[in-house]
Amino acid sequence: MSHLPSEPEFEQAYKELALTLENSSLFDKYPGYRDALRVVSIPERVIQFRVVWEDDAGRLQVNRGYRVQFNSALGPYKGGLRLHPSVNLSILKFLGFEQIFKNALTGLMMGGGKGGADFDPKGKSDAEIRRFCVAFMRELARHIGADTDVPAGDIGVGGREIGYMFGAYRRERNKFEGVLTGKGLDWGGSLIRPEATGYGLVYYVGHMLEVAGAGSWEGKRVAISGSGNVAQYAALKCIELGATVVSLSDSRGSLVAADGGHVTVEDIEAIMELKVKRQALADYTPKGSLKYIEGVRPWLHVGQVDVALPCATQNEVSQEEAQALVAGGARFIAEGSNMGCTLEAIEVFEKERREKKGNAIWYAPGKAANCGGVAVSGLEMAQNSQRHPWTRDEVDQKLKDIMKNAFYLGLNTAKEYVETAEGELPSLVAGSNIAGFVKVAQAMHDQGEWW
């Protein structure tokens, strides 16, 4: 790839997957899968377009819009839309590449894609966001559809933005169809969709706790980063199951429990209201023993924890922070964010797993641990096809089943393809990577995309 511009985030995601495949017995048993890796690493289609809109002062503004349609072997392209000034092709390719295998692990009929724009919703009025979303969808509508590509929300895209985009699509195409997920409950949305990624993460880790002989969530100290949708609902579910949450964060700093304190449900509800107004954690005045530390992530400041859940953004756990979590006695780390740990951090966790066996920290990658969000998006697609909504309990039970299946698929695949010493916990990152890759690669082979 030396003739191509550097795409560091995508190259990291590719390297993480390729290394686990190379270090397993997969290519020895099935050499043809090397060709499949070459094919699957190139998107089927990359769409880039300009988005011209008008701000409240009547000035013309322009942004870059993207949709990376990475792989459709298992179903329509499926993946979020991100609105953030950091958005570029490398980030969207990394997210879309991860999405292929994440979607495969859900067991649902979904391909992988990702999109968005370098538009910053912060500081914009509702009218400006609406005008941007309409202009963005006017172009994107040409390339998506319920049986082609079904985007969802991501950073910067919540219920308000999905509503504006869905309305723009409906008017542009004269169709009311399940073209976006995360919709309002009265017009095609699904119960538990906002909670799904956070809840699913906690359900997944629950199986890790059980298999490792660590019991239930009751009494566990949990460090969480982020304070958006994923972190909020992961924290609420942890508290519901009897755990103690000791941190939340955003891009400006962290709230960390002091003097034996903890994050309360009331704290989370207040932070939810804050985030709806697009305000920072620094604007929150906690009533209990939480303290705000500016300019830091929580990992070096939480002390001893049992579980760490990175739920903010990519590469939010460095090698140094990984070592601090290990030194603090953490036994489980699972990514609520996509590629939340650097390659160096993952190697710290995997080295500990190999050396300390059953007493080591156990790491779960985002493509498995956070697949609950896209899983319920897939369930929303199914409800749209049926023109029939399911109850909260029905959706929650299906989510629990999907997370259990994703966990055991990764666990059992690791046992099959990765040599494991006696007493050593199987590598969930290797097992999840191999399981997702094999499912996609085999579908591509069956459809004549490699041979």
Q: What residues act catalytically?
A: 114
Q: Which residue has the tokens 């508290």?
A: 239
Q: Is there a contact between 357 and 192 (Cβ–Cβ < 8 Å)?
A: no
Per this entry, what is the length of the chain? 451
Dihedral (C-alpha) 86, 89, 95, 101: value to the nearest 10 degrees?
A: 180
113 is in an annotated binding site: no
Q: Is there a contact between 180 and 165 (Cβ–Cβ < 8 Å)?
A: yes
Q: Is there a contact between 268 and 281 (Cβ–Cβ < 8 Å)?
A: no
For residue 114, what are its two tokens? 């990702």
Measure the CA–CA gap between 404 and 61, rounded to whole angstroms.
46
Residue 99's H or E segment, with its range, is: helix 89-106
63 is in an annotated binding site: no
Q: Is there a contact between 200 and 404 (Cβ–Cβ < 8 Å)?
A: no
Three-state SS at 235: helix
12 is in an annotated binding site: no
Smallest Cα–Cα separation from 133: which of 168, 158, 183?
168
Q: What is the 3-state secondary structure (H, E, C) of 280-306?
A: CHHHCCCCCCEEEEECCCHHHCCCCCC
377 is in an annotated binding site: yes
CB atoms within 10 A of CB 212: 15
Smallest Cα–Cα separation from 76: which of 113, 101, 42?
113
229 is in an annotated binding site: yes
Q: Which residue has the tokens 């390659």?
A: 343
Q: Is there a contact between 191 and 390 (Cβ–Cβ < 8 Å)?
A: yes
Smallest Cα–Cα separation from 49: which of 131, 136, 145?
136
Sign (positive/negative) of CA torsion 336, 338, 344, 346?
positive
| Identity of residue 435 | A
Contacts of 358 (CB under 8 A, 6+ apart): 212, 213, 423, 424, 425
- Backbone φ, ψ for residue 353 (5° rounding): -60, -40
Inter-helix orientation angle 265-276/229-240, to 10°? 160
99 is in an annotated binding site: yes
Q: Is there a contact between 51 and 136 (Cβ–Cβ < 8 Å)?
A: yes
Smallest Cα–Cα separation from 352: which of 331, 321, 368?
331
Binding-site residue numbers for NAD(+) are: 197, 229
Q: List the binding residues for substrate.
A: 78, 99, 102, 153, 377
Residues at the annotated binding site?
A: 78, 99, 102, 153, 197, 229, 377
